[in-house]
């Protein structure tokens, strides 16, 4: 049978490209390009001068893992493997250093990577920081300051924990009535609840989550504390000086939906970090990656140096807007990490399927 480099069969490639969703097909294509040797060869020859911002969330150890939505968690072992690879094969810089280079009109060095963490998980101190220190890697932590003030877990983790520990199989809310014994209804209900929580404000989320806990027959309090305290945040910046701190709003609000509250969310979160940690944050990460031109302009006007957001292109290169920096959300796959951080991903986007 005809084969590609390293035994990747043409038949295997065809099977990969028949995967049902665009996201699955894209991951399969990227992995195939990396494993076949096409992407590494292109990176060595072209040496594209682009940077990648990796956006992690939780790296919870096993005792807290059952309370964290697995979509947003890597295990400590997986994260250590990522860090080891990045230290050995990539040029890891602080977000501040990357932004300074962009503002100066300079292109990043080939295979440049910046590491960031959204939200303010406690395991960023207890697990991630020691691993990064072992490999001498810098990172940026974007804090949702209201969650730190309240010691409150992110809604995605509360929803996930309620869902997986439920003792009842019926949800009845305005516009949403589902029998959770039915797989189709269960999947649609979870997606709808997640969507409602994203656009809700803090009080609306609290009410919806309380109602869910009651209907699903679970306690509202999670069995593990997931969020940093301010004392722990101070320990992080004191003990791990390669960590810089940015802001992720006060209440992790979708600022597109709540644009009228953007100034309060931005200014109050920055002031809270400055007061608690003695450093004035220079970088912002838009909650849920959602932004608009007006919001990005406002972040600039308020004196921040950069903002991260979700966008189709995760390419960070000479001329990139420092207030619209795309990120990659890493999966456990080292193959995909190598692909995304090689600088090849954006250059090969036009390849035919």
The pTM for the full model equals 0.90
Residue 339 has what pLDDT? 87
In angstroms, the CA 53 to CA 307 distance is 12
All residue ranges of the chain with pLDDT < 70 are 1-24, 29, 38-43, 45-46, 346-353
pLDDT (tens digit, 9 = 90+) per residue, 70-116?
Answer: 999 999 999 999 999 999 999 999 999 999 999 999 999 999 999 99
Spatial contact of 324 and 19, defined as CB atoms under 8 Å apart: no
Residue 2 has what pLDDT? 39
Taking Cα atoms as reference points, which of 184, 182, 176, 169 lies closest to residue 215? Answer: 169
Q: How many helices (H) and strands (E) does the chain have?
A: 16, 10
Taking Cα atoms as reference points, which of 96, 141, 97, 99 lies closest to residue 237? Answer: 141
- 238, with CB counted inside 10 A (0-12, 13-18, 19+), is exposed
Determine phi and psi for 127, rounding to 5 degrees. Answer: -115, -55
Residue 119 has what pLDDT? 97
- 87, with CB counted inside 10 A (0-12, 13-18, 19+), is middle
In angstroms, the CA 19 to CA 231 distance is 47
**Alpha helices, DSSP H, located in the chain:** 10-17, 22-35, 38-46, 62-65, 76-89, 95-103, 123, 129-134, 145-150, 155-164, 183-199, 202-216, 230-239, 262-277, 293-301, 334-341
Per 3-state DSSP, what percentage of the chain is helix, strand, and coil (rounded to 5)? 50, 15, 35
Cross-strand partners of 176? 173
Place of tokens 């797989």: 183
Residue 285 has what pLDDT? 98
pLDDT (tens digit, 9 = 90+) per residue, 30-63?
Answer: 777 777 776 666 657 667 789 999 999 999 998 8
- The domains located in the chain, with CATH, are 1-36 (no CATH), 51-151+226-341 (3.20.20.370), 155-216 (no CATH)
Place of tokens 């209804």: 185
Non-local (6+) Cβ contacts of 134 within 8 A are 83
Determine phi and psi for 325, rounding to 5 degrees. Answer: -90, 115
Non-local (6+) Cβ contacts of 328 within 8 A are 52, 53, 54, 55, 314, 340, 341, 345
């Amino acid at each position: 049978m005809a084969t590609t480099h390293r035994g990747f069969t043409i038949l295997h490639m065809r099977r990969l490209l028949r995967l049902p969703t665009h996201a699955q097909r894209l991951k399969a294509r990227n992995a195939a390009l990396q494993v076949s040797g096409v992407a590494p060869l292109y990176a060595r020859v072209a040496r594209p001068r682009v940077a990648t911002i990796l956006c992690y969330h939780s790296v919870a150890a096993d005792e807290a893992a059952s309370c964290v939505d697995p979509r947003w968690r890597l295990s400590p072992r997986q994260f250590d493997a990522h860090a080891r690879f990045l230290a050995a094969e990539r040029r890891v810089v602080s977000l501040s250093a990357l932004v300074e280079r962009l503002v100066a009109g300079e292109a990043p060095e080939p295979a440049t990577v910046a590491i960031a963490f959204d939200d303010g998980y406690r395991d960023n101190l207890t697990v991630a920081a020691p691993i990064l220190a072992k490999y001498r890697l810098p990172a940026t932590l974007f804090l949702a300051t209201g969650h730190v003030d309240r010691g409150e877990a992110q809604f995605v983790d509360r929803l996930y924990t309620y869902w997986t520990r439920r003792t009842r199989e019926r949800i009845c809310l305005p516009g949403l009535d589902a029998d959770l014994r039915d797989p189709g209804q269960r999947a649609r209900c979870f997606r709808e609840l997640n969507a409602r929580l994203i656009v809700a404000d803090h009080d609306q989320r609290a009410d919806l989550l309380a109602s869910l806990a009651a209907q699903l027959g679970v306690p509202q309090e999670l069995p593990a504390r997931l969020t940093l305290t301010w004392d722990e945040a101070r320990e992080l910046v004191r003990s791990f000086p390669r960590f810089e701190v940015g802001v992720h709003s006060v209440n992790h609000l979708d600022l597109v939906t709540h644009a009228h509250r953007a100034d309060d969310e931005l200014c109050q979160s920055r002031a809270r970090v400055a007061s608690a940690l003695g450093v004035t944050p220079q970088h912002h990460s838009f909650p849920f990656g959602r932004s608009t031109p007006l919001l990005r302009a406002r972040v600039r006007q308020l004196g921040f140096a950069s903002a991260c957001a979700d966008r189709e292109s995760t390419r960070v290169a000479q001329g990139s807007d420092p207030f619209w920096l795309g990120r990659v959300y890493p999966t456990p796959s080292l193959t995909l990490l190598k692909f995304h951080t090689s600088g090849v991903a954006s250059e090969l986007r036009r390849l035919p399927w």
